[in-house]
Amino acid sequence: MILYGIANCDTVRKAKKLLEQAAHPFRFHDFRKEGLTPTMIQAWLAYADYSQLINKRSTTWKGLNESEQQAIESQDLERVCQHPTLIKRPLLDTGSKLLIGFNASEYQSL
């Protein structure tokens, strides 16, 4: 399993803690340190709709101008990669499904 997010995000910390307590082996991928690629996003789109991946409530989204927002809405993956905090966090790739956001009961059902 791979847990994607940002190290200082509270919900990512909760997800990491729950996975560790349940002794689930996982690797943490920090968007800020390790980056984000269009290939990664394309892989996630096999499990989720694009609109589910983008966090329009984030301060990053609110800081974008209208043309940047429109480009992201039209699935400009390169632009999303320039702003990795636009991806909803945490994102857990189990290999067979993708959990977007943190829901303790979903994580416990693993």
- Lookup: tokens for 17: 């803690």
Positions marked catalytic? 9
Count the Cβ atoms, other than its own, within 10 Å of residue 106.
Answer: 14
User: Order of strands, edge to edge, in the sheet holding 2-5?
Assistant: 27-30, 2-5, 91-93, 98-100
DSSP H or E segment with residue 11: helix 10-21
Rounded Cα–Cα distance for residues 51 and 40 (Å): 15
